Amino acid sequence: MTEHRTRRAFLASSVTAAALGLAGCTGDGGSDGGGDSGTPTSTPMSDSMTIFHAGSLAPPFSAAEPQFEDEFGVDVTREAQGSVASTQKITQQGRSADVLGVSDFRLIRNRVLPEYGDWYAIFTTNSMSIQYREDSPGADDISADNWWEVLSRDGITIGHSDPAVDPGGYRAVMTLQLGAEEFQGERLYDEGTLDALMSNTTVPTGTETNLEGQLESGELDYVLYYQSI
């Protein structure tokens, strides 16, 4: 395979890797831990567990919850919100959680440890994707080789989550910007196309978990979000 084909295949896929992190938290600023080796400290098992997590982690956490509760006799309470907002519940609002699950492990490494948590682990990765309906404008034309041309057309509405509260939002912006970056003398599209893409992009109200519903209702034509959602 030539370098040209490799570059085009890489950019046309519009994939941005996302490492997801899991932390054991205290939420009161009283942890005397501070290690980030991924080794949890030993604590007594409680009959309840509070989890703050990213909306993108709702499907796997929801699937694991019943079996976890049955096996360990623990009542799990989960709160799904953007990763940044979930982190701020602990670091700014002073709330307590047993586990914090986010879609950017750097939030844990840089904002939670060591003051609010004992440990963290990177447990999976994700990719960005373009999601749309069968009847979305341009759906019959779009492919890995021309998605930027379709999404930059007049009248197209592209949605992504709020970059201020969700890593999926700023990774969506990064994905669009990546296509206009020159690499080994080649780029997918020029700055004019990037401007058109950004002009067609909106941040709808609600959390990232609302994107699917807004896409299905026709409020959005295309959504930039994690492939797992």
Q: Are residues 33 and 53 in the same domain?
A: yes
Query: What is the pLDDT, as a whole number, of residue 27?
Result: 53
The CATH number assigned to the domain holding 62 equals: 3.40.190.10
> What does the longest C-alpha to C-alpha distance in the chain come to?
59
- Out of 92, 126, 160, a domain closes at 126
**Based on the domain organization, do 187 and 211 belong to the same domain?**
yes
Q: Structurally, how many domains does the chain consist of?
A: 2
75 and 135 co-located in one domain = no
Same domain, 131 and 120: no
Q: Do both 75 and 38 map to the same domain?
A: yes
Answer with the residue of higher pLDDT: 205 or 141.
Answer: 141
**Domain shared by 80 and 90, yes or no:** yes
Confidence (pTM): 0.72
Question: In this prediction, what percent of the chain has a pLDDT beyond 90?
Answer: 61
User: Is 121 found in the same domain as 24?
Assistant: yes
Average of per-residue pLDDT across 38-59: 75
Share of the chain above pLDDT 70, in %: 78
pLDDT at 41: 47
Quick check: bond before 114 cis, omega within 30? yes
Instruction: Decide: 11 and 37 in contact? Cβ < 8 Å.
Output: no
Nearest residue to 208 via CA among 103, 105, 89: 103
CB 124 within 8 A of CB 136: no
Query: Is the per-residue pLDDT at 56 higher than 90?
Result: no
SS3 51: strand
16 pLDDT more than 60: no
pLDDT at 151: 98
Query: What is the C-alpha to C-alpha distance for residues 207 and 224, in angstroms, rounded to an integer?
Result: 14
Residues 120 and 26 in one domain: yes
Do 112 and 84 belong together in one domain? yes
For residue 75, what is the enclosing H or E element?
strand 75-81
pLDDT value of residue 91: 96
- Which of 67, 102, 126 finishes a domain? 126
| 12 shares its domain with 38 | no
* Chain segment 129-170, per-residue pLDDT in tens: 999 999 999 999 999 999 999 999 999 999 999 888 889 899
In this prediction, residue 187 carries a pLDDT of 94
Rounded to the nearest integer, the mean pLDDT of the chain is 83
Domain's final residue, options 65, 99, 126: 126
Q: How confident is the model at residue 212 (pLDDT cuts 50, 70, 90)?
A: confident
Which positions ≥6 away from 204 have C-beta within 8 Å?
159, 210, 211, 214, 219, 220
Cβ density class 102-120: b for 16+ within 10 Å, e for less: bbbbebbeebbbebbbbbb
Q: Are residues 58 and 76 in the same domain?
A: yes
| Per-residue pLDDT tens digits for 74-122 | 999 999 988 999 999 999 999 999 999 999 999 999 999 999 998 999 9
Same domain, 83 and 161: no
Task: Domain of residue 150: give its range.
Answer: 3-16+127-226
